[in-house]
Amino acid sequence: MSTALQWPMWMAGASVTAAAVIPVHDPEDGSVVGTVPSASREQAVAAVVAAARGTRVAAALATHQRLAILARAAELVAERAEEFATLIAREGSKTIREARHEARRCAETLRISAEETRRAAGETILFDQAVGSEDRVGYWQRGPVGLITAITPFNDPLNLVAHKVGPAIAAGNAVIVKPSDETPLSALKLAGVLLEAGLPPESLSVVTGRAETVGEPLVSHPAVRMISFTGGLRSGTAIAHQAGLKKMAMELGSNSPVIILADADRERAVEATVSGAFWAAGQNCLGVQRVFIEEAVYDDVAERMVARARTIRLGRKLDETTDMGPLINEREARRVDDWVKASVRQGARLLTGGKRDGAYFTPTVLDKVPAGAIVLEEEIFGPVVSLIPVKSLSEAIGQANSVNYGLQAGVFTRDLPNAFRAIRELEVGGVMINDSSDYRIDAMPFGGVKGSGLGREGVKFAMQEMTEIKVVCFNPQG
């Protein structure tokens, strides 16, 4: 795969350009990192038709072949982790240290995908449990869905692609990746690694282009049998309407809560919560957005959080001492600034931060945020956290559940009954006890409830979503 300024897209074995290009800007200074083709609608349709032919090639790969391809790809990503990290940092928001973490996770995701190819088996069925079926024998097995369109966001431009492509390949599917316009280069580089590792070129495409041009054909074409989407609720809803009758897995974000009770280890709670709020400049679907703190310790926890937030160093992303980089672009930084100012006008108190410089926005802590404020209701996707005092766990759970999101939550307590009560009552896809909502490993099931999405990611669980069950029954009386 080319590392030159002009990157081609990949369509089922063909390196393709387009009449127009999309420049990929470094949000730090606006410089152009590279350009990618801006595919036309006709090219998107052609990509689907070509990729559909690749479904037979993908399904014909034996388990040991899929395993070997994914294992080799994991090795190559690990060997080239610094190259990937530098590219992630250049085209996106992450600092070099955050980008290295993502590159390591990508290698791990591909390794897990390789391992899970061995386990995608079915079970025998006891047909003789039904009267009249005493002589029948059979089983069920999993087979590939066929062609999957995978749509990925800018905030994890490498590992979120791996979380879709790895399980898709492991399950025997062909896949079209539509990466974010903001950060497409990591996806193209990963495609190059997978092809180098031996993946049949017909089974993988990476289509770059504007969503308003290529999005509809990539999701609505009848040859596409599944959509795997990570992004916002509004976009996910539009895709669901466009797609028609096909499988869908969607991770649609959140405004994740953390609950800190009076008996918690406050130092641990503050450190984990601050990290969870400001990792990748807060552009994280698991990022901590609302912190419910028991009144008895509210002042102390708030003071600690403000002090810790003020130690976060903003700066150049490739500087090893930088803790936090810019948002993905100045437009998003202005939106975050508008949301914060709107909340302050409504009565919120700005404890620290709230300053914008281009695409940079300082780590921001709010309290006294009035009910109904946008920073409490919607996903801010920026470095802003709101602190809310509560009288009890009951009140914290009630407020945590009051929004139309439910991805993950964090709860800090030493009290086991309270921990298990929170696990039972929080309306989320995952509850992290004595960790922030931001905690995740790549092998665990990952997804949410309500407006946070449909289905689950995490390699094993994504593979289940990306397969169809077929029942086989033998009647010896035939």
The answer to whether 185 touches 195, Cβ cutoff 8 Å, is no
Nearest to 208 by CA among 227, 183, 233: 183
Q: Which residues of 84-123 are buried (b: 16+ CB within 10 A; e: fewer)?
A: bbbbbbbbbbbbbbbbbbbbbbbbbbbbbbbbbbeebeee
The mean pLDDT value for 432-437 works out to 98
> Contacts by 349-354 with C-beta closer than 8 Å and gap 24+?
351/302, 351/306, 351/387, 352/306, 352/309, 352/310, 353/309, 353/383, 353/384
Residue range(s) in the chain whose domain bears CATH number 3.40.605.10: 9-253+453-472
Q: Which of 233, 229, 197, 134 is nearest to 457 (CA)?
A: 229
In which band, very low, low, confident or very high, does the pLDDT at 13 lie, cut at 50, 70 and 90? confident
Q: What is the pLDDT of residue 2?
A: 43
The model's pLDDT over 22-67, given as tens digits with 9 standing for 90+, comes to 999 999 999 999 999 999 999 999 999 999 999 999 999 999 999 9
Helices (H) and strands (E) in the chain, counts: 15, 22
At 92, is the pLDDT very low, low, confident or very high (cuts 50, 70, 90)? very high
Nearest to 29, CA basis, from 96, 106, 93: 93
Q: How far apart are the first and last CA of the chain?
A: 54
**pLDDT confidence of 93, banded at 50, 70, 90?**
very high
For residue 388, the cross-strand partners are 292
Nearest to 171, CA basis, from 473, 448, 461: 461
Say yes or no to pLDDT of 235 above 70: yes
| Structure confidence at residue 150 (pLDDT) | 98
pLDDT exceeding 90 applies to what percent of the chain? 98
Q: Give Cα 4 distance to the centre of its chain.
A: 28
Q: How far lies 287's CA from each of 47, 187, 381, 459, in Å?
A: 35, 23, 8, 21
Would you say residue 91 has pLDDT above 60? yes
In CATH, 9-253+453-472 is 3.40.605.10:
yes
Is residue 160 over pLDDT 50?
yes
Q: Three-class SS of residue 284? A: coil
Assigned token pair, 264: 């918690």
Q: What is the CATH number of domain 256-441?
A: 3.40.309.10
pLDDT band (50, 70, 90) for residue 477:
confident
pLDDT digits (tens, 9 = 90+) for 171-226: 999 999 999 999 999 999 999 999 999 999 999 999 999 999 999 999 999 999 99
Percent of the chain clearing pLDDT 70 (strictly above): 99
Residue 5, pLDDT score: 84
Residue 418's pLDDT is what? 98
CA distance 231 to 285: 9
Mean pLDDT of 61-77: 98
Give tens-digit pLDDT for 119-144. Answer: 999 999 999 999 999 999 999 999 99
User: Is the pLDDT confidence value at 4 over 80?
Assistant: no
Give me the pLDDT at residue 3, please. 44
In this prediction, residue 470 carries a pLDDT of: 97
375-390 average pLDDT score: 97
Residue 1 has pLDDT above 80, yes or no: no
Work out the mean pLDDT of the chain and round it to a whole number.
96
Which residue ranges does the chain devote to CATH 3.40.309.10?
256-441
pLDDT digit string, tens, across residues 347-367: 999 999 999 999 999 999 999
| pLDDT at 72 (0 to 100) | 98
**Mean of pLDDT values over 268-292:** 97
At residue 383 the predicted structure's pLDDT band, cuts being 50, 70 and 90, is very high
Catalytically annotated residues: 251, 285
User: What digits encode the pLDDT tens for the residues 301-343?
Assistant: 999 999 999 999 999 999 999 999 999 999 999 999 999 999 9
Environment class of 345 (CB within 10 Å of its CB; exposed 0-12, middle 13-18, buried 19+) = exposed
